[in-house]
Amino acid sequence: MIHLEVIERVFQVGDEWVHALRQVSLHVARGEYLSIMGPSGSGKSTLLNIIGLLDRPDKGSYRLEDRDITDLSDRQQAALRRHKIGFIFQFFHLIPRLTAAENVELPLTLAGIVPAERKQRVAVALERLGLADRARHRPDQLSGGQRQRVAIARATIMRPALVLADEPTGNLDRASGQDVIDTIEALNGEGITVVMVTHDPELGRRTRRQVQMMDGRIVQDTGAAHDTR
């Protein structure tokens, strides 16, 4: 599903050039549950951003579902990202003035889905995540765990093939974090590919495959993808 070949990413910080990624090659099969781990500055978030089409590599190639996306325009990448990829972030990134239902509905609105279908899909998503009674609450009226579940509903409302999670429990207490991971693992059980960045070894061990990064390189990979679609 994901095919990264010899990816390089360099940033300029002041007068210095920082090599965030060095010759990174990674293949991820459809339906995998993968964690990317490493110390701060190892390149794991940069790698996730490139996989999620939030950033572009300076060198190398990237194929997603057999489509070469390296040279797609920003508009083409945005359309692909909207329909194929869901994002779960540490700090939720919900819009404060919108209700839970309106936050979840936003990707459907941007995709041009008709209102009746939007309302129906949002109701199903919130019910599934135990948030039906919080549909009209704004983010500041929700607990951290509830906000993250709203973010998960928003990330999956377009029925993406791929979910990218960047420290999804990093801002939650242990009980809320457990609920969020259980939800993510349930999504993976339905066939959604999940790639998660985490600094927590315990969370990393829960994934079926672990990739360890150091100084912009993959230094350990517990398993390679078998399905190359």
CATH number for the domain spanning 101: value is 3.40.50.300
Per-residue pLDDT for 228 more than 60? no
Dihedrals phi, psi of 44, to nearest 5 degrees: -65, -40
Per-residue pLDDT for 194 more than 80? yes
pTM above 0.85, yes or no: yes
Asked whether residue 112 is assigned to any structural domain, the reply reads: yes
Q: How many domains does one find in the chain? A: 1
Query: What whole-number distance in Å separates Cα of residue 105 and Cα of residue 158?
Result: 10
Asked whether residue 191 is assigned to any structural domain, the reply reads: yes
Asked whether residue 228 is assigned to any structural domain, the reply reads: no
Asked whether residue 226 is assigned to any structural domain, the reply reads: no
Q: Please report, rounded to a whole number, the percentage of residues in the chain having pLDDT higher than 90.
A: 68
Query: What whole-number distance in Å separates Cα of residue 6 and Cα of residue 4?
Result: 7
- Do 168 and 196 meet the contact criterion of CB atoms below 8 Å apart? yes
Per-residue pLDDT for 60 more than 70? yes
Instruction: Give the pLDDT score at 107.
Output: 92
Query: What whole-number distance in Å separates Cα of residue 211 and Cα of residue 224?
Result: 10
Q: Which residue has the higher pLDDT, 181 or 226?
A: 181
Enter the DSSP assignment of 143: -
Q: With residue 38 as reference, give the H or E element that holds it.
A: none
| pLDDT per residue as tens digits for the range 134-189 | 999 999 999 988 998 999 999 999 999 999 999 888 878 888 888 889 999 999 99
Confidence category of residue 224, pLDDT binned at 50, 70, 90: low
Asked whether residue 171 is assigned to any structural domain, the reply reads: yes
Asked whether residue 217 is assigned to any structural domain, the reply reads: yes
Parent domain of 22: 2-221
Confidence category of residue 35, pLDDT binned at 50, 70, 90: very high
Single out the residue of 67, 94, 225 nearest to residue 149, CA to CA. 94
Asked whether residue 116 is assigned to any structural domain, the reply reads: yes
Single out the residue of 222, 224, 218, 229 nearest to residue 47, CA to CA. 218
Instruction: Give the pLDDT score at 223.
Output: 74
Per the listing, tokens 């359309």 go with 79
Instruction: Give the pLDDT score at 53.
Output: 94
Enter the DSSP assignment of 11: E
Asked whether residue 7 is assigned to any structural domain, the reply reads: yes
Report the mean per-residue pLDDT for the chain: 91
